[in-house]
Amino acid sequence: MTGRLTIMPAAGVAVMCATGLAAALSDSDLKVVRLHPAAAPPGGSTVVHAFVADGGPERTASPFTVIVRLPSGFTAEGPYFPEDCRSEARGRLVRCTFGAGLAALRTATALVPVRVGADVPPGTRAEGHVQVVGADDRDPRDDRTPFTLSAGC
């Protein structure tokens, strides 16, 4: 009897997906808003604000991921916000996943602290990128934007 209880929910899920009762995608438009971090001296730190907006007209029905790519000489250092963000590629890439439900005309922000390499010459300006990826997004043209990191004096 326990075997039936285990099998029945699994079969129910398969039927639900096959009949199209699974959650539908929303009509939402995720877009990245360009923000440049404050300059920091070599060896110092700054914060990348990865700012994403839902242009609507609907609330997102699926999770989405914000990706921050850093240029050479700059490295992500946690803690991150949200705290489940994950660093990859030796701190040059950070992925932050947000759950479904971002309302139309609302925003979500990932905060990624960045260390400027001690060997980066003062006055250096380098380009990074913020990108958003989500199944609900209907317009990919505004899903990625550059930002400038600067090594101040």
Unique residue bearing structure tokens 């010459």: 121
CA distance 20 to 137: 20
Per-residue model confidence as pLDDT tens digits over 17-64: 343 444 588 989 999 999 999 999 999 999 999 999 999 999 999 999
Give residue 41's pLDDT: 97
Per-residue model confidence as pLDDT tens digits over 91-118: 999 999 999 999 999 999 999 999 999 9
Contact at 8 Å (CB) between 64 and 136?
A: yes
With a cut of 80, say whether residue 2 has pLDDT above it.
Answer: no
Do the bridges between strand 125-134 and strand 64-69 make them parallel or antiparallel, or are there none, so unpaired?
antiparallel
With a cut of 90, say whether residue 120 has pLDDT above it.
Answer: yes
CA distance 59 to 117: 40
Give residue 23's pLDDT: 59
For 4-143, strand residue ranges (E) read: 30-33, 45-54, 64-69, 74-76, 86-88, 93-98, 107-116, 125-134
Give residue 138's pLDDT: 87
Band (9; pLDDT cuts 50, 70, 90)? very low
Per-residue model confidence as pLDDT tens digits over 72-89: 999 999 999 999 999 999
